Amino acid sequence: MSAMIGFHRSLPQHPQSLPSSSFSFAWLEAPLKACIARLADVPDWKNIDLWPAGRVFGEAGEYRWQRTGERSIHAVLLVEHGPFPDDSPVWQPQELKQQRGDSALILWGTWVKPEKDSRENPHGNALFYANEIPQMQTYPIDLDGPVRDEQTPRLIVRRYCATNGEMGEFIRCVGFALCDRE
């Protein structure tokens, strides 16, 4: 089965039929804050007053939303395999095909080395400082060991187009990785 995408322009809340157990990560946005984390670490991600925009994603697909009114959400759901949610006629699902292999987008930040800054990163976690933001970024990357200077945090994305050619490219988030600079 091919990937499927659907949308809804005016949901009053996040759909109950959303397969959120299939998603591993959250990218949440509010006017004065943002959060990139493991979904399990953000139990309030469905609160649209707190997070009026965002996406939850993983290998199984992506659900993204943006609040468009006082109690209205514009939402897009992409499922990689398997059935679309039970309320699929509401979503107007369309079949997609993957355009090419996954890509790795470089994220901001330099790893905070515990031996140089043991106060900020005593356990050697995936903490990256970004001068451009400027603040500490905690990316949900599993570290097998120390980060080498030639490695950077990356967001893994997958690109799709409609099988009937009626729309442009859709890019969705898949996960995170630590990659060597190329």
CA neighbours closer than 13 Å in the CB half-sphere of residue 177:
13
Sequence-separated contacts (24+) of 25-29 with Cβ below 8 Å: 25/56, 25/57, 25/58, 25/140, 25/173, 25/175, 25/176, 26/54, 26/55, 26/56, 27/54, 27/55, 27/56, 27/57, 27/173, 28/53, 28/54, 29/53, 29/54
Please check whether residues 25 and 83 belong to one and the same domain: yes
Q: What's the whole-number mean pLDDT along residues 59-84? A: 89
Same domain, 110 and 86: no
| 27 — pLDDT class (breaks 50, 70, 90) | very high
Report pLDDT for 88. 60
Apex 103 CA angle, 102 and 105, nearest 5: 145
Residues 137 and 163 in one domain: yes
Instruction: Answer with the one of 63, 95, 127 that is the final residue of a domain.
Output: 95
90 and 113 belong to one structural domain: no
Range of the domain at 122: 103-180
Which pLDDT score is estimated for 1? 57
The predicted pLDDT at position 87 comes to 64
Tell me the average pLDDT of the chain: 87
> What whole-number percentage of the chain has pLDDT above 90?
41
pTM: 0.87
| Residue 72: pLDDT over 80 | yes
Q: Are residues 63 and 110 in the same domain?
A: no
Quick one: pLDDT band at residue 53, thresholds 50, 70, 90?
very high
**Same-domain pairing of 66 and 146:** no
Which range scores top for mean pLDDT: 19-33, 50-64, 93-107, 138-152? Answer: 50-64
Question: Per-residue pLDDT averaged across 38-64, rounded?
Answer: 94
Q: 153 and 170: one domain?
A: yes
